[in-house]
Each structure stands twice: as C-alpha cells, then as structure tokens.
Amino acid sequence: MVKLFRQHQLVTVRILYYIPDYRHILNEFLWQTHDIVPEIPRVHKFLNYWRAEIKTPISSIEVAYGNIGR
C-alpha cells in the first residue's frame, strides 16, 4: 500500500487556452509554484481565479509534480 504524505513540492501547471479574439488559435501558459501535494490548494485557487476573472476558454490543463531522480 502506498501512503501519500503532505509535503511542499515544486508544481508545474501547463494550460492550453484559446486566444479570446482568435478562437481557433491555442496559446500555452506555464506556471511553477511551490504547493502542498497531493492537494495542490494554491493551484486550485489560481485555476478558480482564471475561470472567474479571465474568462478565456481552457482547452487542457496538465499538472506535474514529484520526486525526480529518487
């Protein structure tokens, strides 16, 4: 059984979104932050803000974190 421990890690978020004036063109936004995994509350807060205030349609969201090389 795998146990998940809450810890701060570097989290990378990749968002593909449509440009407001050109709905057929995708743009990419990359963001890195330190957050508590696996819950990632800071990332959720950012995405909620994006949906409420930016109002640009999102095509996809990828979130990555983990211990590389261990």
**pLDDT, position 3:** 58
Residue 48 CA to residue 69 CA, distance in Å, equals: 32
pTM of the model: 0.81
Domain definitions of the chain by residue range: 7-64
**Contact (CB, 8 A) for 26 and 16:** yes
Q: What does the pLDDT look like over 15-47, one tens digit per residue?
A: 999 998 898 999 999 999 999 998 999 999 999
**Contact (CB, 8 A) for 7 and 37:** yes
What single-letter DSSP state applies at residue 53? I
